[in-house]
């Protein structure tokens, strides 16, 4: 059992919290109440950033001490939305939210994952008609191994998990969010994920 704090109680955070609790972990969900994120992060071994990506950097940079020596699992994408509310541009072109977080939190082990799919797939990957791929980006091998184990708890088969390398590789997976609005407009809000076919 691992102590996990989920920052963000929307669809993504709530979905992850429910699934991780079901898998036997001790999970705390922090809402936007003053001090809730700091309290949750302080007592957790792993912190999941499921806050809206546009405000994640500022929000998490304020938790530098609480996140010291912790694993920060970043599942958010930082985008500028278009008039229809869907992602239109990246907030950090030539970089990524994950890289910005790692720079702001040098004593935290940031791992990027689960950001190349619609949120229902994060905790039910086997429901798709073909195997999806989930990616790992991060500079600390031990942190990535811990996150890999969490992914298996969420139903991800080991052969579906691809370690891309250091945190800078997150800029590639974060750019994949630009596919999402076009796919949704084309086929509707049906769960999907990026899959690497071999």
Cα–Cα distances (Å) from 15 to 33, 48, 63, 176, in that order, read 20, 12, 23, 21
Q: Is 130 helix (H, G, I), strand (E, B) or coil?
A: coil
Stated pTM of the model: 0.96
| Structure-block tokens of residue 136 | 């790992």
Q: What sign has the CA pseudo-torsion 64, 67, 69, 72?
A: negative
Check residue 86 and give its pLDDT: 87
Q: Which two tokens stand for residue 105?
A: 């939190």
Residue 156 binned pLDDT confidence (cut-offs 50, 70, 90):
very high
Q: Count of CB atoms within 10 A of residue 143's CB?
A: 20
Mean pLDDT along residues 118-143: 97
- pLDDT, tens digit, for every residue of 96-108? 999 999 999 999 9
Q: For 159-195, what is each residue's pLDDT tens digit?
A: 999 999 999 999 999 999 999 999 999 998 899 999 9
Are 174 and 77 spatial neighbours (Cβ–Cβ below 8 Å)?
A: yes
Residue 51: name the closest of 66, 24, 72 by CA.
72
pLDDT category at 198 given cuts 50, 70, 90 is confident
Instruction: Decide: helix, strand or coil at residue 24.
Output: coil
| Torsion sign across C-alpha atoms 20, 113, 106, 78 | negative
Residues with Cβ within 8 Å of 140's Cβ and at least 6 positions away in sequence, in order, are 109, 111
pLDDT number for residue 189: 87
User: Using one digit for the tens of pLDDT, what is the confidence trace for 13-59?
Assistant: 999 999 999 999 999 999 878 789 999 999 999 999 999 999 999 99
Q: Which residues are CB-neighbours of 102 under 8 A, at least 6 positions away?
A: 108, 110, 139, 167
Q: Which residues contact 59 (CB under 8 A, 6 or more apart)?
A: 7, 37, 51
Phi-psi bin for 114: left (phi > 0), alpha (psi -120 to 50), beta? left
Distance CA 53, CA 140 (A): 22
Report the candidate in 117, 187, 182 with the shortest Cα–Cα distance to residue 156.
117
């Amino acid at each position: 059992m691992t102590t996990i704090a989920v920052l963000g109680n929307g669809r993504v955070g709530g979905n992850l919290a429910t699934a991780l609790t079901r898998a036997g972990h001790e999970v705390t969900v922090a809402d936007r109440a003053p001090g809730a994120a700091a309290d949750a992060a302080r007592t957790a071994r792993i912190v999941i950033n499921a806050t809206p990506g546009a405000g994640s950097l500022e929000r998490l940079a304020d938790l530098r001490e609480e996140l010291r020596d912790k694993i920060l699992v970043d599942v958010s994408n930082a985008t500028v939305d278009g008039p229809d509310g869907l992602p239109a541009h990246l907030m950090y072109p030539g970089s990524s939210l994950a890289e910005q977080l790692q720079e702001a939190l040098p004593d935290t082990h940031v791992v990027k994952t689960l950001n190349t799919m619609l949120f229902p797939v994060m905790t039910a990957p086997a429901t798709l008609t073909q195997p999806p791929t989930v990616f790992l980006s991060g500079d600390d091998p031990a942190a990535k191994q811990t996150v890999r184990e969490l992914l298996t708890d969420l139903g991800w088969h080991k052969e579906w998990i691809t370690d891309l390398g250091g945190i800078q590789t997150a800029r590639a997976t974060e750019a994949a969010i630009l596919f999402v609005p076009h796919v949704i407009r084309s086929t509707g809000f049906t769960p999907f994920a990026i899959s690497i076919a071999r």
